[in-house]
Amino acid sequence: MKIFVTGATGFVGRAFCELARARGHQIATLERPYRLDAPPWEQIAKFEPETCLHAAWIATPGVYLTSPLNADYLKWSLDFAKRMRKLGTRHFVSLGTCIEYAPSDQPMDEASSPVAPRSPYAVAKNELRIALENDACSHGMTVAWARLFYPYGPGEHPQRLSSIIARRLRQNETVMLNTPGSVKDYIHIADVASALLAITEAGTDGVVNIGTGHGVAVREIADTLAQLLGKPDLVREASPPQPDEYPYLVADAGKLASLGWQPHYDLASGLQTLIDSLP
């Protein structure tokens, strides 16, 4: 299969490309100096992509949720998807986010859980989903919306939760947890890549949660890292803990599982790969 990938040097895009190439797919990517708003369309047309994974977006921790660039990425993504459709691309897979969902204390289901994005990032993602679905219905391109939960693992940004905790523990620093009881669906980056490839190979359409279906508390992340590093006495909890806008974000992973996908990594083995990758 010929797959065109945006954001191929990012955390998710890089892992996807490595796996897809290993599975024998032909991959073309958007490389510098080209940008999402000015791709080399003549070269893309010569590649004749059958499907596209759109993973390019601003994702810098502490910045991406409120960045004005979210509006730019929305516009660029819409223009890009329409042009890809006109080139004959039959399947378009785009990354969404679990925070499109309204807060809940139950696993998020693609068909029934309400959507109520709050941040500029989540709003822009949701608007892109709606526009892509409407355009696809009018012109026949199949669109899959991969609603990503909490990826972690080798290659993640150093300011992501697991990397921060692991580095501090290795330096014998006390780790203070501000939201120890916050529960999220953490999924290893290799499992993210295999889930996206399953969606791509199957030509799946509609929203698909990219998560394990299991919730893990921040305290469990910290305790597991501390155990793996032999530093169990360095983890502390803030008293009182800070509020979390999303205290529970866990996927209903039934639709993904129906494609024959299952996670390869449990929490301990996944965090070990992260530890092993740190400089």
The series of mean pLDDT values per 10 residues for the chain, 279 residues long, is: 96 98 96 82 96 96 96 96 94 98 97 97 98 84 97 97 98 97 98 98 97 98 98 96 96 98 98 97
Which one-letter DSSP state was computed for residue 264? S
pLDDT at 31: 76
Give the range of the structural domain holding residue 32, as residue numbers without chain letter. Answer: 2-151+188-210
Q: How many domains, the chain? A: 2
pLDDT at 139: 83
Q: Are residues 29 and 70 in the same domain?
A: yes
Query: What is Dmax (Cα atoms) for the chain?
Result: 59
Q: Are residues 73 and 196 in the same domain?
A: yes
Query: In this structure, what is the dihedral angle of CA atoms 101, 104, 109, 114, given to the nearest 10 degrees?
Result: -50
Q: Are residues 128 and 73 in the same domain?
A: yes
Q: How far apart are CA 106 and CA 273, in angstroms?
A: 29
Q: Are residues 64 and 200 in the same domain?
A: yes
Tell me the HSE value of 137 on the side-chain side, using a 13 A CA sphere: 7
pLDDT at 34: 73
Angle formed by the axes of helices 267-277 and 218-229, to 10°?
A: 60
Q: Are residues 39 and 173 in the same domain?
A: no
Q: Are residues 32 and 127 in the same domain?
A: yes
Q: Are residues 112 and 166 in the same domain?
A: no
pLDDT at 138: 72
Q: Are residues 134 and 105 in the same domain?
A: yes
Strand partners, 54: 6, 94
